[in-house]
């Protein structure tokens, strides 16, 4: 199965807000869902295909898929597929993956507040997050259907998946002033990582020249932190969209980065 990095990565709203899933699990669920939208109705990509796409080892991909299968989020069956070559053909085993029916709410643009399955296996959607207050851009708030990781950011080999998704979150939380004021505690709760780990990721992005951080202090006490994405790296969010995935194409507003996190 072709997993060339030639389109932007799209994480639907329900999946972005789902608790109990790592960043890698969320992106992999999105990719399995997207690759299942074919005439066969399932994803048959191999671990080595995903490994190249994610930039991690096939063994690492295998562990993530095993976790998702044990949680019941993806269903896996085994079959045989026919490989045709000039003058001959042969059969080989084929792994077939789909998103289990109770968890389709993670990738479908459905009414997440009233979905009966959001309580399963500690994957409850944080319902309070959907009660979004009015903002200066009310239309954009209503249009929020998910998170886009632009292709040019996704294929950057200098950044980990955690760095990429945290950078996206910072972008979403950037105010009209151009700064994000969110603390490590909020990021920690949202991503399921320790505050220390969040601090390390932000420091890494700062050391790579991607972020500028300013502190307001009263004596030795930090009262406010301002995080800004440096101008050269805003190109990731302003360039024209690349080819988009089929799941991404379901939303006419997918390209709009909402100010809500």
For β-strands 7-12 and 146-149, DSSP reports them as antiparallel
**pLDDT, position 144:** 66
- Cα 228 from Cα 40, distance rounded (Å): 45
| E strands, 48-179, in order | 74-85, 88-99, 146-149
Q: Is 124 exposed, middle or buried (0-12, 13-18, 19+ CB in 10 A)?
A: middle
SS3 state at 222:
strand
pTM for this entry: 0.72
* pLDDT tens per residue across all 261 residues of the chain: 556 555 678 888 888 888 788 888 998 998 898 888 888 889 999 999 888 888 789 999 999 999 999 999 999 999 998 888 888 888 889 999 999 988 887 877 554 445 544 444 333 333 333 333 333 444 444 456 788 888 888 888 889 888 999 999 998 888 777 899 999 998 998 888 899 999 999 999 999 999 999 999 999 888 999 999 998 888 787 654 444 444 444 333 333 333 344
Q: Are 214 and 104 in contact (CB under 8 A)?
A: no
**Which token pair is 261?**
């996190």
């Amino acid at each position: 199965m072709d997993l060339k990095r030639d389109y932007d990565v799209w994480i639907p709203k329900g999946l972005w807000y789902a608790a109990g899933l790592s960043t890698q699990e969320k992106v992999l669920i999105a990719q399995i869902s997207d690759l299942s939208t074919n005439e066969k109705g399932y994803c048959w990509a191999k671990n080595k295909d995903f490994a190249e796409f994610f930039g991690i080892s096939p063994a690492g991909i295998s562990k993530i898929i095993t976790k998702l299968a044990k949680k019941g989020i993806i269903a896996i069956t085994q079959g045989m597929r026919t490989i045709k070559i000039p003058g001959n053909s042969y059969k080989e085993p084929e792994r077939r993956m789909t998103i289990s029916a109770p968890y389709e709410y993670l990738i479908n643009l459905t009414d997440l507040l009233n979905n009966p399955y959001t309580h399963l296996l500690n994957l409850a959607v944080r319902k309070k997050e959907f009660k979004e207050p009015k903002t200066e851009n009310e239309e954009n708030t209503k249009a929020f259907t998910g998170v886009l990781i632009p292709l040019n950011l996704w294929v950057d080999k200098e950044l980990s998946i955690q760095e990429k998704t945290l950078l996206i979150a910072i972008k979403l939380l950037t105010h009209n002033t151009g700064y994000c004021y969110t603390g490590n505690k909020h990021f920690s709760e949202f991503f399921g990582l320790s505050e220390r780990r969040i601090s390390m990721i932000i420091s890494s992005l700062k050391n790579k020249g991607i972020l500028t951080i300013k502190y307001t202090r009263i004596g030795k006490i930090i009262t406010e932190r301002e995080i800004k994405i440096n101008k050269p790296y805003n190109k990731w969010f302003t360039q024209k969209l690349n080819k988009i995935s089929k799941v991404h194409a379901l939303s006419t507003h997918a390209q709009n980065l909402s100010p809500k996190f």
